[in-house]
Amino acid sequence: MTRPRSSGGAAGSEPKVRIAATLIPGDGIGPEITASVRAILSALGDPFEWDVQPAGLSAVASHGDPLPPATLDSIRRTKLALKGPLTTPVGGGFKSVNVELRREFELFANLRPAVTLIPGQRYENIDIVLVRENLDGYYAAFEHYLPVGDDPKAVAFSAGFNTRAGCERIIRFAFDYAVAHGRRKVTIVHKANILKALTGIFLDAARRIAPHYEGRVAMDDRIVDACAMQLVLNPWQFDVIVTTNLFGDILSDLIAGLIGGLGLAPGANIGTQAAIFEAVHGSAPDIAGKGQANPVAILFAAALMLDHTAHGEEATRLRHAIRETVVGQGVRTRDLGGSATTEAMTKAILARI
């Protein structure tokens, strides 16, 4: 669902019509890395007209609400957002804003491409795209406790669900992505040997849909635990992976590890009504405010957003400048074994645009 350029064919000195987009700086390192994105996109002739909106823990502090109505209204209007990481309280507290946004805008597909940037690491030449179902599974589970005796939380229940329609939609998305991007194979990842209903419905859907792509995209399947091991032993056998929500969450972090960590992994949440781009990593409270955050993951997310809005040329220039900086010049933040600050990295990338 690539949206057309809205530059309106402006010629000469006529100002370009920019695409309205929501920017959520977010929590922790979010403001630092989104500032980097804005500076670098500016140098590329930023095609986006940003509407900056709060969300997450910082929005609780400023607006008394982790997802203020104005933020939702903004995304409803723009249908396009770049989102910094949002802190989610563990155990209790407010519900994950990330999950709320996915649900509100029916962002059913989570696309997480992982491509080797830095050569000479533990794994060379990784190029895997993980497609994760983003709405159902255990993320849509009815969770509750049952009391026994005087223990109010003696038993914990979770009833997740997957729908046939939801499975078919995400599997079609993965195959269509494979066709559009010249990929050879889609691997279906499930646990249909144990969760026979919950993930059996997913495998069934894949077996029905894959034949429609015969001759164009191959299909195979793996049980999730075996897949985790094989991703470590021989990741090169994988091309596009499509899986259910929780397995996708876990495997995408594993795959990010294959390319040198979370600081390099972008993600896109794509739906029928909107698309929200983000880094795979979280708000990194341990390094927030210290100028150590790696902006590359969210810059790659911005590149996906440029691709999505038919600004492939700017996306290519952005990726090239990042590669030149990180690989060519060896300018790297601490997570990549370097000592550059977020600002130094940003300046170095700017110099290459």
86 binds, among ligand NAI, Mg ion, none (CB under 5 to 8 A by kind): ligand NAI
221 belongs to the binding site for Mg ion (CB under 5 A): no
> What's the token pair of residue 39?
């500076």
Known catalytic membership, residue 290: no
Among Mg ion, ligand NAI, none, partner that 287 touches (CB below 5 to 8 angstroms by kind)? ligand NAI
Q: Is 281 in the site for ligand NAI (CB under 6 A)?
A: yes
**Dihedral through CA 94, CA 95, CA 101, CA 105, nearest 10?**
-120
Residue of 53, 58, 78, 87 interacting with ligand NAI (CB under 6 A)? 87
Find out whether 282 and 258 touch, Cβ atoms under 8 Å.
no
Smallest distance, ligand NAI to C-beta of residue 267, A: 8
The candidate with the shortest Cα–Cα distance to 7, out of 322, 284, 306, is 306
* Binding flag, residue 278, ligand NAI (CB under 6 A): yes
Using rule CB under 6 A, residue 248 touches ligand NAI: no
| Interaction of residue 249 with Mg ion, rule CB under 5 A | yes
Helix/strand/coil for 64? coil
d(CA 131, CA 144): 29
Among 294, 309, 325, 346, binds ligand NAI (CB under 6 A): 294
CA atoms within 13 A on the CB side of 121: 18
Q: How many residues belong to the site for ligand NAI (CB under 6 A)?
A: 21
Residue of 36, 88, 162, 309 that binds ligand NAI (CB under 6 A): 88
Residue whose beta carbon is closest to ligand NAI:
282
Q: Quick check: is 347 catalytic?
A: no
CB of 253 to ligand NAI, least distance (A): 9
d(CA 275, CA 344): 30
Beta-bridge partners for 186: 219, 240
- Got the DSSP string for 146-193? EEETTEEEEEEEEEEE--HHHHHHHHHHHHHHHHHTT--EEEEEE-TT
Q: Which of 293, 299, 305, 322 binds ligand NAI (CB under 6 A)?
A: 293
Q: Which of 95, 176, 225, 290 is catalytic?
A: 225
Tell me whether residue 145 is one of the annotated catalytic residues. Answer: no
Q: Do residues 1 and 53 touch, judged by C-beta distance below 8 A?
A: no
- Segment near ligand NAI (CB under 6 A), from 142-150, 222-230, 275-283, 345-353? 275-283
Examine the residue annotation and report whether 249 is marked as an active-site residue of this protein: yes
Q: List all residues 6 or more positions away from 87 whose beta carbon is below 8 Å from its beta carbon.
A: 27, 28, 56, 57, 282, 283, 285
Bridge partners, residue 19, by sequence:
48
Check 191, 213, 239, 335 and give the catalytic one.
191
Site for ligand NAI, rule CB under 6 A: 29, 85-88, 98, 262-263, 278, 281-287, 293-294, 297, 333, 335
Site for Mg ion, rule CB under 5 A: 249
